[in-house]
Amino acid sequence: MRAMSEFDLHCHSSISDGTLPPAEVVRRAAANGVRVLALTDHDEVAGLAEARATAAEVGITLIAGVEISVSWRSHQVHIVGLGLDPEEPILLARLKAMRDGRYGRAERMAAELARLGIPGALEGAGRHAGGSIIGRTHFARFLVEQGIAKDVKSVFDHYLATGKPGYVPHQWASLADALSWIRGAGGIAVIAHPFRYKLSSNERSNLYKEFKALGGEGIEVAYGSASAQEQRDAASAARRHGFLASCGSDFHSPGESMIDLGRIAPLPEDLTPVWSKFREM
């Protein structure tokens, strides 16, 4: 039997780079046995109202979330905010500015791809983005559609991952900004998928310490892309730094994601789950 959790605190809808509308994400989660779901679109909270309405319909709990893109040293790091007020004005204004910044980056990405002999990427990716935020996943889907690569993952491997020819550097929010926006909106900040970042162990421990010093409280221990060893290492980090433990599928799409909603390993029992704080909020 596949691992299963009633809590899935990280996933995406078509509001960012998922393919299903928020209502469909919630229905699919409920059908998979999830009881508490956080929708955490990239740099955007506009899907939460629809998600909340559908959650009420199907009888599950919806936690308001977001996944904020951060530049930390030379790395792109993701910080998830959970249980926040999705109408808090400063959070909304800052996320809007981040989404605006994505358009300039998309233009630069399209220019790089054109230089590599792939024209029309801005329009093509824009079509996949459908007017909400635009990001690398939308470019990847356009390249797959053009027959340039067989799937989204291989587009990243050959064109869009850090250091690949279609990659363009971008300045995201600072770690301090992301923490202050999340905390200012009453949310809990969580380090997303800690082993997706190519950090030395020294850098990793510095990231955890800085995050903690800025008021960060949680870390994802069980998540879609983590190996069993990485989940053990994330659990050790949670113990060492006193972090709450979170878990999430990071589901994006039925066709693309390896892990479906709710298909997450259980958290080690000695850790304090992040949802122990939800009731107090």
- Residues in touch with Mn ion (CB under 5 A): 17, 67, 78, 192, 250
CB of 269 to Mn ion, least distance (A): 26
State whether residue 159 is helix, strand or coil: helix
Residue least distant from ligand AMP (Cβ): 135
The binding site for ligand AMP (CB under 6 A) comprises: 17, 42, 69, 135-137, 152-153, 156, 161, 252
Smallest distance, ligand AMP to C-beta of residue 139, A: 8
Which neighbouring-strand residues pair with 78?
A: 69
Tokens of 254: 């039925």
The whole-angstrom separation of Cα 71 and Cα 6 is 32
Q: Are strands 188-191 and 75-82 parallel, antiparallel or unpaired?
A: antiparallel
Q: Which partner, ligand AMP, Mn ion, none, binds residue 136 by CB below 5 to 8 Å per kind?
A: ligand AMP
Question: What is the rounded distance in angstroms from the CA atom of residue 135 to the CA atom of residue 141?
Answer: 10
Q: How far is CA 112 from the centre of its chain?
A: 25
The secondary structure of residue 196, as a DSSP letter, is G
Q: Which does 161 bind (CB under 5 to 8 A by kind): ligand AMP, Mn ion, none?
A: ligand AMP
- In terms of Cβ atoms closer than 10 Å to its own Cβ (0-12, 13-18, 19+), residue 147 is exposed
Residue 184's nearest CA partner among 273, 39, 263, 85 is 85
CA distance 145 to 149: 8
d(C-alpha 55, C-alpha 6), whole Å: 14
